[in-house]
Structure 1
Amino acid sequence: MASEDACPVDHKTRAAWLEQAAAQKAAGNPAPPPHPAKPAPPPLPAGQTCDSSAMDQTPAPSHTASSLLASLRLGTQREVSTIPRAAGEGASAAPANAEAESGKDKSGMWIYPSEQMFFEAMRRKSYDPKAEDMRAIVPIHNAVNERAWREILGWEKGRGGEGCGGPKLASFSGNSQALTPKARINTLLGYQAPFDRHDWVVDRCGTRVEYVIDFYAGRDEGKPGKSLNFYLDVRPKLNTWEGWKMRVGRFVGA
């Protein structure tokens, strides 16, 4: 199970996403509402996820009356991602998200939290979420994670994962306060620091490959139709020979 620290976002990440949502709205391109959860979508060739069985859709008892009314207006539908979730131990084990946290969905994909889940989880972590922000944060969160998965698929292409149905996401964790070595060096050189960091573990036919993702907020280019303006630095970790081989191969064009 992924670390709950990765979901929901912290204050720094939430502020970055809200800034992007405000830029979209100012440009006449508001963030779309979350899509309803699909009962069993076919596997797609692309597709982060932030699914958590610890999240529930019940308003916390500590809500004030006004906060409770606001939270009750939040959506409870969940979007099924295009990111395959690695099964549990054993060849016949069902996908980990085919149980209670994903209802009756048997797709084997990770499933994003609803607006209500996102809001309640942030309150449990002692943040100060605003119900009206969830409509902007949740779809941006989903879209950014989908982009991260597409970047990982680019790294994984041609490395043997196709032989077992493609690579699958086994787990993830997030810590916006822990700079990667690359991000720390770039920050010392005067470049912008990432607003978030995730560590993902990918299952490639039984081989675990670890990735690190630095999330950067891009500049508002003011271009029509520019729905998201984020830069994701996705790369294998250099903690294994496989990670070094992949990074060097990309560098030399192999």
Structure 2
Amino acid sequence: MGSGQSKPTLSTAATISAAPASPIQADATTNTSDVAVKAPESSGGCPVKLADGSYPSMSGFTSFFRHPPIDKKPEATTSATAAATKDTTSESPKQSSRPVQGPSRSKALSLFSRSGPGPGGDTTTKPQQYDVYSRPLKMDPTNNMPLANPDNLARNALPSKEQTVSLPTERVSSTIPKGGTDGETWTYPSPQMFWNSLARKGKLGDTKEEDMETVVAIHNNMNEGTWTKVLEWEEVIGEGAPKLSRFMGRPHDLSPKAFIKHHLLSHPLPFDRHDWTVVRPSGQEVRYVIDYYHDTALEKDDTSVEDLQIGRGGKVNSLLVDVRPAVDGPSELWARMVSMPLAIRGCASIVDCILGGGEGKEKKSEFEPLPMMPSDTLKQSMEESKRIWESIQKSAKEIVEEGKVCDSNEMEATITEADAKKMAESYATILKNCQDVKTQLKNCGSDAECNKAFMGMTICAGKVLCPLQHKSFAETLEGVGGGKELDEMATAKINIAFQNLGECVAGCDQKAGAAKKQYPHLFEKIVGK
């Protein structure tokens, strides 16, 4: 796809389904830091000393160095430690949340009209804003705006512990109006946010950082195309100017229509499912069910990444989308069985369609439904769609915990002698370059001293083991500068950057411990331990 880019494949589609479900606006759930953090005191000082003089306990070495005493005092807990237990994906700019009022449109029930049954009486609602998991955002009662979350903002902009190559943090706006706001649209995730989402869910697989440009472009284009289909439905059954209120990814749930298509009509399985809820001007909400399919035979006809940018009108031909209102009531059932079929033919009513020989004189809807029966090319994706579905179901049963310790036997099986040699050489470099902090760690006499020395060793080792995370942490500190009183955002960035560095070092240390167990002769020869 374009220069240096590959065509989207079903594995790429599966990667998209594991990431943010749709246009993503950052989560504004309250999680503000209440811990003051000091800037570096000196080249040998602790870079994140707490206001009470204590130091945070962080992940680091366990295989080669004595772990310091754990400070169990409540006041020594940092926001970084608390943030590690929270599910964070998003941020939210300031947005208006004024009530949208107005009567809902009533439609007369007529078996000869495509209008069908209406929603009933008038409604008056106050629109709510939601995060990417359809959770209501906490609002500031003084101005009806979402409360900012510094930890989430910081986490989204920083490289994860698994990352080795830096990624862009710039985000682009969609064309999809955001419910609960005046004139604002949903914002798509940056490549860095998308990577962090996959990493947090344990869904990276064989995805590489260089894949993110393609993945994000396809993700954004999929959602733009989905919204176009929603608007085509709303033009027939809605009341004009809908907004996307909230959405939810449901890749593990097979919709009734997808079930029938697959089990009765031999149609490939979808690689993803979304539920989007739109809000109409009257305040009425309508849920749409969306199934995404992949036609591998059409990959050769796919466009370039450049053509997928917002506003370019690009389309991934191999990705097919099936959009329809959920049957949550009689009006939605009527819309699917009568209203849209008549609109596609330009008929005002069933009688009009019969008299016109199946064609009416009104303007025809541009909506093109996916056929129930699979095309000849789509049939070729059947076996691959089954493999993807089985993988999705398997992942649904797995419990992915942040900081989860890998099985040692499984880890050892993945370590080659060449990898073990590189690890041993890295640790030899660390022992040579980090003698001072190693001595401090060995001779520390209190929890505070040991935590300080332990952090120093983690930072020193991180320069060798986790250069990207170390660079991110150093740049974060440099951006803060010395002697300044830190605000919540600066505090969050330091805490998260150090947490990512510590977890990366801890992961490398754990793997090195398994390598040392498997290849003791290498470590004895190179490291001397």
Q: TM-score, normalised by structure 1?
A: 0.67
Establish whether residue 58 from structure 1 lines up as the match of residue 158 from structure 2: yes
Aligned to 1:244: 333
Structure 1 position 225, deviation (Å): 4.8
Q: 2:185 aligns with which of 109, 117, 122?
A: 109
Instruction: Specify whether residues 158 and 181 from structure 1 end up closer, same or farther in structure 2 by C-alpha distance, changes over 3 A only.
Output: closer
Q: TM-score, normalised by structure 2?
A: 0.33
Q: Using the alignment, how far apart are the partners of 2:176 and 2:235 within structure 1?
A: 15
| Equivalent position SS for 2:275 | strand
Q: Structure 2: which 5+ runs fail to align?
A: 1-8, 17-21, 28-88, 91-155, 305-314, 349-529
Aligned to 1:212: 289
Q: Using the alignment, how far apart are the partners of 1:197 and 1:117 within structure 2?
A: 21
Residues 25-80 of structure 1 deviation map (CA, whole Å, 9 limit, x = unaligned): xxxxxxxxxxxxxxxxxxxxxxx5233323312123x33xxx3x41x2x1111110
- Tell me if the contact between 1:57 and 1:120 (Cα under 8 Å) persists in the aligned partners: no
| Structure 1 outlier segments of 4+, above 6 Å | none
- Greater helix proportion: 2
Structure 1 position 160, deviation (Å): 4.8
Amino acid corresponding to residue 171 of structure 1 in structure 2: R
Residues 207-226 of structure 1 deviation map (CA, whole Å, 9 limit, x = unaligned): 00110000001243334758
Residues 83-120 of structure 1 deviation map (CA, whole Å, 9 limit, x = unaligned): 00001xxxxxxx2xxxxxxxxxx851000000000001
- Tell me if the contact between 2:169 and 2:193 (Cα under 8 Å) persists in the aligned partners: yes
User: Aligned-pair RMSD on alpha carbons?
Assistant: 2.5
What aligned pairs does 1:158-237 form with structure 2 within 5 A after superposition? 158-162=236-240, 166-189=241-264, 190-205=266-281, 206-221=283-298, 222-223=300-301, 225=303, 228=316, 229-237=318-326
Amino acid corresponding to residue 207 of structure 1 in structure 2: Q
Q: Using the alignment, how far apart are the partners of 2:340 and 2:222 within structure 1?
A: 23
- Tell me if the contact between 1:18 and 1:137 (Cα under 8 Å) persists in the aligned partners: no
Instruction: Specify whether residues 16 and 119 from structure 1 end up closer, same or farther in structure 2 by C-alpha distance, changes over 3 A only.
Output: closer
Instruction: Specify whether residues 131 and 223 from structure 1 end up closer, same or farther in structure 2 by C-alpha distance, changes over 3 A only.
Output: closer
- Tell me if the contact between 1:80 and 1:111 (Cα under 8 Å) persists in the aligned partners: yes
Aligned to 1:32: none
Instruction: Specify whether residues 108 and 49 from structure 1 end up closer, same or farther in structure 2 by C-alpha distance, changes over 3 A only.
Output: same
Instruction: Specify whether residues 185 and 16 from structure 1 end up closer, same or farther in structure 2 by C-alpha distance, changes over 3 A only.
Output: farther
Q: Using the alignment, how far apart are the partners of 1:133 and 1:247 within structure 2?
A: 38
- Tell me if the contact between 2:244 and 2:278 (Cα under 8 Å) persists in the aligned partners: yes
Q: Using the alignment, how far apart are the partners of 2:325 and 2:238 within structure 1?
A: 16
- Tell me if the contact between 2:10 and 2:296 (Cα under 8 Å) persists in the aligned partners: no
Aligned to 2:195: 119
Instruction: Specify whether residues 223 and 243 from structure 1 end up closer, same or farther in structure 2 by C-alpha distance, changes over 3 A only.
Output: same
Q: Using the alignment, how far apart are the partners of 2:257 and 2:302 within structure 1?
A: 33
